[in-house]
């Protein structure tokens, strides 16, 4: 299907908008909601790690189901419906065990959709995959609208209103899951190979391991960044603006990706992203009192997520072709954002509680540096990737 078909473009873009609008609600403000109902740092880190745990487990099951049945979009629609129904549980419990169960169920269904939609988008774009960022930027816009709007709202209304915003966004995801176009998966010579043989390639292992470390590095950011800013005297509206600044810069990079991919290889873009992550987390760790440094750190989100995500997804699409597309993107999401995000979130609680925020975000910088080393070792040469 040609990527200039506006009808299909807007269908896919709408799904990205609402999917990442939920992230814009959840990542900055859910921890503040948990703190408002008297959970401590370790409990918050455990509850916030449930989503990445589900991102580690669920996408592989859903990806296998999608490739096995050939009904990729039906799986997305089923997952979206079950995600709405399971989310309703947040209105009925405020105890730790209850929320752990509800967030686990919701995360299991919610995390299923995106790897399948990523595979659909890249299949739809075909040889125009460099334009992926332009569609994905609508997700960033959804994030900004939510994070900024709620940042101002929560200066005037109770944080508990976040529950109602969440259900409204979930319904938007459900509606657009039914609008995504069907795409044909083309046969590839690797179709007969087991997916584990593709995963065991040294360059694939290096890519997934490095991206795992990038997700570990971001774990403390997504878990405690809002609390960190509020404790240093920033208003919730300012918190919203700081989150949004990063995503505005991310959108700029998404639109620049066609130019970047014409002039630089995907591994070189990833290497720069890891280098920027080291700097970014050191600035957050030790520059929180200096607004210009904090603004610079948020600007670097353009590289540490925007360029990183677009280049990584494109490289995964090159490694996993044909009938392995959905499973490849699912494995990438599970190992990196899932396992890596879980590890980062779980480690952030004890680091915050026993050594403080400076040590916690310095740990993030070290994780990013280790990822840079892996990329440099195995993937810096063009001959090492497809």
User: Residue 267 contacts by C-beta under 8 Å, 6 or more apart in sequence?
Assistant: 311, 315, 375, 379, 380, 382, 384, 385
Q: Cα dihedral sign for 59, 372, 248, 123?
A: negative
What pLDDT digit, counting tens, does each position of 173-198 carry?
Answer: 999 988 877 666 554 444 455 666 77
Integer Cα distance of 110 and 86 in angstroms = 10
Q: Which two tokens stand for residue 46?
A: 């455990």
* Confidence (pLDDT) at 3: 42
Please tell me whether residue 235 adopts helix, strand or coil conformation.
Answer: coil
359 versus 237: which is more confidently predicted? 359
- Give the CA count within 13 Å in the CB-facing half-sphere of 312: 33
Q: Which two tokens stand for residue 293?
A: 């440094």
What pLDDT digit, counting tens, does each position of 139-178 carry?
Answer: 989 988 998 888 888 888 889 999 999 999 999 999 998 8
Integer Cα distance of 46 and 233 in angstroms = 25
66 versus 257: which is more confidently predicted? 257
- Give the CA count within 13 Å in the CB-facing half-sphere of 236: 19
pTM of the model: 0.74
User: In this predicted structure, which of 51-65, 87-101, 165-179, 282-296 has the lowest mean pLDDT?
Assistant: 51-65
CB 278 within 8 A of CB 372: yes
User: Does the pLDDT of residue 65 top 70, yes or no?
Assistant: yes
List of domains in the chain = 8-174+195-384 (1.20.1250.20)
* Confidence (pLDDT) at 140: 85
Integer Cα distance of 200 and 78 in angstroms = 31
* Confidence (pLDDT) at 318: 80
């Amino acid at each position: 299907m040609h990527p200039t078909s506006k009808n299909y473009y807007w269908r896919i873009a709408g799904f990205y908008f609402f999917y990442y609008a939920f992230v814009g609600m959840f990542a900055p403000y859910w921890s503040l909601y948990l703190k408002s109902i008297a959970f401590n740092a370790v409990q918050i880190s455990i509850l916030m790690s449930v989503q990445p745990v589900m991102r580690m487990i669920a996408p592989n099951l859903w990806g296998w189901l999608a490739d096995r049945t050939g009904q990729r979009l039906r799986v997305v629609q089923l997952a979206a419906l079950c995600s709405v129904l399971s989310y309703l549980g947040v209105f009925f419990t405020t105890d730790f065990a209850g929320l752990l169960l509800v967030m686990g169920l919701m995360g299991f269904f919610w995390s299923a959709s995106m790897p399948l939609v990523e595979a659909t988008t890249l299949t739809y774009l075909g040889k125009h995959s460099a334009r992926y960022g332009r569609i994905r930027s609508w997700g960033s816009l959804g994030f900004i609208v939510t994070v900024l709007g709620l940042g101002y709202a929560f200066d005037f209304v109770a944080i508990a209103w976040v529950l109602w915003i969440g259900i409204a966004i979930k319904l938007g995801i459900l509606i657009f899951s039914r609008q995504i176009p069907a795409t044909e998966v083309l046969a590839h010579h690797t179709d007969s190979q087991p997916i584990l043989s593709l995963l065991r390639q040294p360059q694939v292992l290096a890519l997934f391991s490095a991206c795992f470390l990038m997700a570990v590095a971001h774990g403390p950011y997504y878990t405690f960044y809002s609390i960190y800013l509020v404790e240093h005297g920033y208003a919730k509206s300012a918190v919203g603006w700081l989150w949004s600044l990063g995503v505005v810069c991310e959108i700029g990079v998404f639109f620049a990706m066609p130019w970047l991919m014409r002039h630089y290889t995907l591994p070189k873009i990833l290497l720069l992203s890891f280098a920027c992550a080291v700097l970014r987390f050191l600035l957050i760790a030790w520059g929180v009192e200096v607004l210009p440094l904090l603004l610079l750190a948020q600007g670097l989100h353009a590289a540490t997520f925007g360029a990183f995500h677009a280049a990584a997804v494109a490289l995964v699409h090159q490694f996993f072709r044909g009938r392995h597309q959905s499973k490849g993107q699912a494995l990438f999401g599970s190992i990196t954002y899932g396992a890596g995000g879980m590890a980062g979130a779980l480690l952030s609680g004890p680091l915050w509680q026993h050594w403080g925020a400076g040590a916690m975000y310095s740990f993030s910088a070290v994780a990013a540096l280790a990822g840079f080393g892996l990329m440099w070792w195995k993937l810096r040469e063009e001959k090492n990737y497809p």
